[in-house]
């Protein structure tokens, strides 16, 4: 599944954003919120996110079984860990 999120104009506080991310995008059914630009079911089990972020960086995060728990706790820390891993 491919999901595009635009946080550039979102006023949601970061901890609330992380809770919304987990609740709306990482459970069984995706339930879009205000910042959701696109949800495309491509039949793949992983969820590939493009996050247009407030810092001007377009962040790409793929969530699968290996990093689901980390992304559920904090999508930003999961993205940072993915960047550090290369």
Tell me the pLDDT tens digit for each residue of 1-34. Answer: 999 999 999 888 889 999 999 999 999 899 998 8
- pLDDT for residue 72: 97
The answer to whether the CB of 38 falls within 8 A of the CB of 4 is yes
The answer to whether the CB of 49 falls within 8 A of the CB of 5 is yes
Q: Which residue has the tokens 């940072």?
A: 80
**Calpha distance 23→85 (Å, rounded):** 26
pTM above 0.75, yes or no: yes
* Tokens matching residue 32: 């879009």
* Tokens matching residue 41: 């079911």
Beta strands across the sheet bearing 58-63:
36-40, 2-6, 47-52, 58-63
Is pLDDT at 45 greater than 90 in this prediction? yes
Residue 85 banded pLDDT, cuts 50, 70, 90: confident
**Calpha distance 27→25 (Å, rounded):** 6
């Amino acid at each position: 599944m491919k999901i595009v999120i635009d946080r550039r104009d979102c006023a949601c506080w970061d901890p609330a954003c992380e809770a919304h991310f987990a609740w709306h995008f990482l459970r069984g059914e995706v339930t879009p919120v205000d910042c959701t630009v696109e949800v495309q079911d491509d039949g793949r089990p992983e969820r590939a996110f493009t996050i247009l972020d407030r810092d001007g960086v377009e962040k790409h995060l793929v969530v699968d079984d290996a990093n689901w728990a980390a992304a559920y706790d904090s999508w930003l820390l999961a993205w940072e860990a993915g960047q550090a891993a290369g």
